Amino acid sequence: MSGTKAGGIKAAQTNKAKYGREFYSRIGQKGGKLGHTGGFAANPTLAKLAGAKGGRLSKRGPAKKTIA
């Protein structure tokens, strides 16, 4: 169990012994291949529209009329 640094090192050694030296490399490759970058990073037009929409909406609610 890797609750401490020594435990993490021991767990890493166990994983490498069980699954091979490239165990962590394979895990990283899977994550990189399955990752999808989307949203505003991939679509600047979507970001522009969302920013405009946020700018139009008031966060303070309707204006209050005061009698002076």
The pTM of the full predicted model, rounded to 2 decimals, is 0.45
Length of the chain equals 68
For residue 64, the 8-state DSSP code is: P
Q: pLDDT tens digit string along 22-63?
A: 999 999 888 877 766 677 778 889 889 988 888 887 677 777
Give alpha helix (H) positions in 1-68.
5-19, 23-34, 44-56
N-to-C CA span, the chain: 70
Tokens found for residue 46: 């979507």
- pLDDT value at 67 more than 90: no
Residue 16 has pLDDT above 90, yes or no: yes
